[in-house]
């Protein structure tokens, strides 16, 4: 198993899922018409039952604990690998032909243990499963397992998951019930955890303090001798998935979990799949109030709502990026490195796919709603990597800096059949920010040369607000020189970001300038897109003001089926060719 940060299974970053183009459906009108950022939560269901059964073994309530380090060498059994994908990478059990993200269609596997409603019995069952090369654990029905003691070695309440372990929750709850702080689950390299029909509540991951020194452990004392394991210790309040590990959650509720670092509910450095689940009311002091990702993350028919992050990504953060200063004065903002992650080091983004169901009577959108970020990306934040979002409602999120709904920096981003509504940013981009990051050339620092690439298709960006620029969408370098007065200059061919918008409505958004769209030193192409009834509130008259589209030192291209109209006070303030003002 490779321990590569960006791609848990080793090698170059995995290519994003293929982008399949579909005929534009009237999904906005029929599925989310009048939506203001919230979609009703659909009934949740588990995965289809699997067909092979093993013997069932009850776990005695006074069973002696099995040694946690037993059978470590068995991790190699059942490991992923062998099958080559189109990109030549070893996809193993996670390949596209392996069913639901690597699971083989079987429900119970290995020895099955029924666990009475006792927390000690649950710990015993997990220790036995690790020793016996995995297995299935069936919890008592509607039980609350209250965990009061953490494993000091690993910083979690339950034994680390080393094998292929399934926990069938039977509508039970596992919760922290102690003044002491600890996360609930930790999946290590080679471990594969499946959770079904379960609530995980109250986990609280904190930076591990070793006895004596009171601070982080020296490298020699870090578990398993890994140089950087200590950076994980404050991550993932409910669940930490380390590199080489994987987790599958079906009909799982992650509620009221906290992290001193990143990932209030989940911190994923391996592979994690959420289906028909809820991530609600979690908090991270760092990035990713609900989920933090540096691996491969799939979110399907799942609601990530009402989470908060002190840093970036109130709902989901893909990579940490930097904590930008946003709408502060330019002199203080032009200081490279401000807001770096400190002892966490450089964070690497991974791959994220967020999808909702769009067929059948039980079709349910995924939601990212009412999340809040102290910096960028109230709903979703990404710094690098690949992000695909479809059949999803992103609404009612707030960013204290930029990107109320979505903030994508140096990211390959696709929003398709997405409703971005009622989000707010104190800075730029109430609905969406797409950017290549900071361009410090000319401000005493070196240009980083990064660029963002994004597509928004068959979507709606409506009723979002920004305190500064781009009520609906902000595209390009976020550092805008207000004193320049948006004077039209020759286009710089080195675009900070490239954005394509197709078959999309951008309507009713409000900002200081560029109520619908603000484009700064970047490129936008509009195809069959309507920008209407957006508003700019700047009445200073010191520079050009556009309610529809404000283009600053960039390039905006319209096709003959796109429309920019009925914006206040002007449509484009003479900054966009072929736009009637």
CA 67 to chain CA mean position, Å: 35
Higher pLDDT, 381 or 321: 381
Q: Provide the 8-state DSSP code for 562.
A: -
**216-235 b/e (C-beta count within 10 Å ≥ 16 → b):** bbeeeebbeebeebbbbbbb
Count of C-beta atoms within a 10 Å radius of residue 544: 22
Q: Is the pLDDT of residue 490 over 90?
A: no
> Do residues 438 and 467 make contact, with C-beta atoms less than 8 angstroms apart?
no
> What are the tens digits of pLDDT across the range 75-93?
333 333 334 333 333 333 3
Give the pLDDT of residue 530.
98
Helix (H/G/I), strand (E/B), else coil: 1: coil
Give the pLDDT of residue 224.
40
Give the pLDDT of residue 396.
98
Higher pLDDT, 350 or 52: 350
> What are the tens digits of pLDDT across the range 436-457?
865 444 433 334 456 789 999 9
Half-sphere exposure of 369 (CA within 13 A, CB side): 20
40-68: average pLDDT? 38
Beta pairing class for 351-355 and 386-395? parallel
As a whole number of angstroms, the distance between CA 157 and CA 404 comes to: 35
What percent of the chain is modeled with pLDDT above 90? 57
As a whole number of angstroms, the distance between CA 549 and CA 573 comes to: 8
Cβ neighbors of 551 (< 8 A, separation 6 or more) are 519, 524, 572, 575, 576
> What are the tens digits of pLDDT across the range 349-388?
899 999 998 776 667 899 999 999 999 999 999 999 999 9
Backbone angles phi, psi at 549, to 5 degrees: -130, 125
395-404: average pLDDT? 98
DSSP-assigned letters across all residues of 391-436? EEEEES-EESSS-SSEEEES-EEEEEEEEEES-EESSS-SSEEEE-
Alpha-carbon separation of residue 267 from 31, 262, 317, 381, 417 (angstroms): 32, 7, 10, 14, 27
> Do residues 449 and 410 make contact, with C-beta atoms less than 8 angstroms apart?
no
Q: Is the pLDDT of residue 211 over 80?
A: no
Beta pairing class for 549-552 and 517-520? parallel
Return mean pLDDT, the chain.
77
As a whole number of angstroms, the distance between CA 302 and CA 315 comes to: 12
Torsion of CA 140, 144, 146, 152, to 10 degrees: 60
Backbone angles phi, psi at 126, to 5 degrees: -65, -40
Closest to 304 in 3D by CA, of 247, 347, 270, 263: 263
Give the pLDDT of residue 489.
53
What percent of the chain is modeled with pLDDT above 70? 66
Give the pLDDT of residue 347.
60
292-307: average pLDDT? 98
Q: Is the pLDDT of residue 326 over 80?
A: no
**523-532 b/e (C-beta count within 10 Å ≥ 16 → b):** bbbbbbbbbb
As a whole number of angstroms, the distance between CA 394 and CA 32 comes to: 11
Q: Is the pLDDT of residue 318 over 90?
A: yes
Q: Is the pLDDT of residue 249 over 60?
A: yes
Q: Is the pLDDT of residue 288 over 70?
A: yes
Q: Is the pLDDT of residue 210 over 60?
A: no
Least confident of 26-30, 175-179, 488-492: 26-30
Binning pLDDT at 50, 70 and 90, where does residue 581 land? confident
DSSP-assigned letters across all residues of 446-457? ------EEEEEE
> Do residues 313 and 257 make contact, with C-beta atoms less than 8 angstroms apart?
no
Q: Is the pLDDT of residue 403 over 60?
A: yes
As a whole number of angstroms, the distance between CA 452 and CA 450 comes to: 7
> What are the tens digits of pLDDT across the range 410-432?
999 999 999 999 999 999 999 99
> Do residues 305 and 299 make contact, with C-beta atoms less than 8 angstroms apart?
no
Q: Provide the 8-state DSSP code for 151.
A: B
DSSP-assigned letters across all residues of 472-536? SEEEE-S---GGGTT---PPPSS-SEEEEEES-EEES-EESB-SSEEEESSEEEEES-EEES-EE
> What are the tens digits of pLDDT across the range 84-136?
333 333 333 333 333 444 444 446 667 899 999 999 999 999 999 999 999 99
142-148: average pLDDT? 95
Q: Is the pLDDT of residue 34 over 70?
A: no
Alpha-carbon separation of residue 526 from 55, 255, 578 (angstroms): 60, 40, 12
- Write down the H helix ranges in 327-464: 330-333
Instruction: Sketch the domain layout of the chain as residue ranges.
Output: 12-44+298-309+353-436+446-581
Query: Three-state SS string across 282-322, please?
Result: CEECCCCCCEEECCEEEEECCEEECCEECCCCCCEEECCCC
Higher pLDDT, 176 or 66: 176
As a whole number of angstroms, the distance between CA 551 and CA 427 comes to: 17
């Amino acid at each position: 198993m490779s321990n590569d940060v960006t791609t848990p299974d080793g090698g170059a970053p995995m290519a994003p899922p293929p982008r399949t183009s579909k005929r534009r459906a009237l999904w906005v009108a029929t599925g989310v018409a009048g939506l203001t950022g919230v979609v009703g939560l659909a009934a949740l269901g588990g995965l289809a039952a699997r067909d092979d059964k093993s013997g069932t073994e009850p776990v005695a309530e006074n069973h002696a604990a099995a040694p946690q380090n037993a059978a470590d060498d068995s991790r190699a059994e059942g490991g992923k690998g062998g099958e080559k994908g189109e990109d030549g990478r070893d996809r193993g059990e996670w390949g596209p032909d392996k069913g639901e993200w690597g699971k083989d269609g079987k429900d119970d596997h290995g020895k099955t243990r029924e666990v009475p409603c006792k927390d000690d019995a649950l710990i015993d069952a997990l220790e036995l499963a690790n020793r016996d090369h995995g297995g299935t654990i069936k919890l008592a029905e509607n039980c609350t397992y209250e965990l009061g003691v953490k494993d000091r070695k690993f910083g979690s309440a339950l034994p680390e998951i080393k094998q292929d372990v399934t926990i069938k929750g039977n509508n039970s709850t596992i919760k922290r019930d102690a003044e002491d702080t600890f996360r609930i689950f930790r999946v290590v390299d080679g471990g594969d955890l499946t959770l079904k029909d379960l609530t995980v509540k109250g986990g609280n991951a904190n930076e591990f303090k070793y006895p004596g020194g009171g601070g982080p452990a020296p490298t020699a004392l870090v578990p398993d001798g890994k140089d950087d394991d200590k950076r994980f210790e404050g991550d993932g309040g409910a669940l930490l998935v380390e590199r080489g590990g994987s987790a599958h959650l079906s009909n799982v509720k992650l509620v009221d979990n906290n992290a001193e670092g990143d990932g209030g509910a989940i911190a994923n450095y391996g592979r994690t799949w959420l289906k028909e689940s809820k991530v609600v009311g979690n908090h991270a002091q760092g990035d990713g109030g609900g989920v933090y990702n540096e691996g491969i993350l799939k979110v399907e028919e799942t609601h990530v709502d009402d989470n908060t992050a002190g840093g970036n990504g109130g709902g989901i953060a893909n990579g940490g990026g930097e904590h930008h200063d946003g709408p502060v004065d330019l002199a203080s903002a032009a200081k490279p490195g401000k807001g770096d992650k400190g002892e966490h080091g450089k964070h690497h983004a991974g791959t994220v796919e967020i999808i909702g169901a769009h067929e059948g009577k039980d079709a349910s959108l995924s939601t990212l709603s009412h999340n809040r970020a102290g910096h960028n990306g109230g709903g979703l934040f990404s710094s690098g990597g690949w992000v695909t979002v479809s059949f999803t409602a992103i609404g009612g999120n707030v960013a204290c800096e930029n990107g109320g709904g979505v903030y994508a920096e140096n990211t390959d981003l696709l929003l398709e059949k997405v409703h971005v509504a009622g989000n707010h940013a104190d800075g730029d981009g109430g609905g969406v920010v797409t950017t290549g990051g900071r361009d410090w050339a000319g401000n005493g620092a070196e240009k980083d040369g990064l660029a963002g690439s994004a597509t928004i298709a068959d979507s709606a960006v409506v009723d979002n607000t920004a305190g500064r620029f781009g009520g609906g969408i902000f595209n390009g370098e976020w550092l805008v020189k207000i004193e320049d007065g948006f004077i039209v200059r020759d286009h710089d061919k080195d675009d900070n970001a490239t954005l394509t918008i197709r078959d999309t409505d951008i309507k009713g958004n409000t900002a200081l300038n560029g109520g619908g769209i603000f484009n700064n030193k970047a490129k936008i192409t509009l195809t069959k897109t309507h920008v209407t009834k957006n508003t700019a509130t700047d009445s200073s008259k010191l520079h050009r003001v556009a309610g529809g589209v404000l283009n600053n030192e960039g390039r905006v291209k319209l096709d003959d089926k796109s429309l920019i109209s009925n914006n206040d006070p002007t449509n484009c303030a003479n900054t966009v060719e072929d736009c009637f003002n």
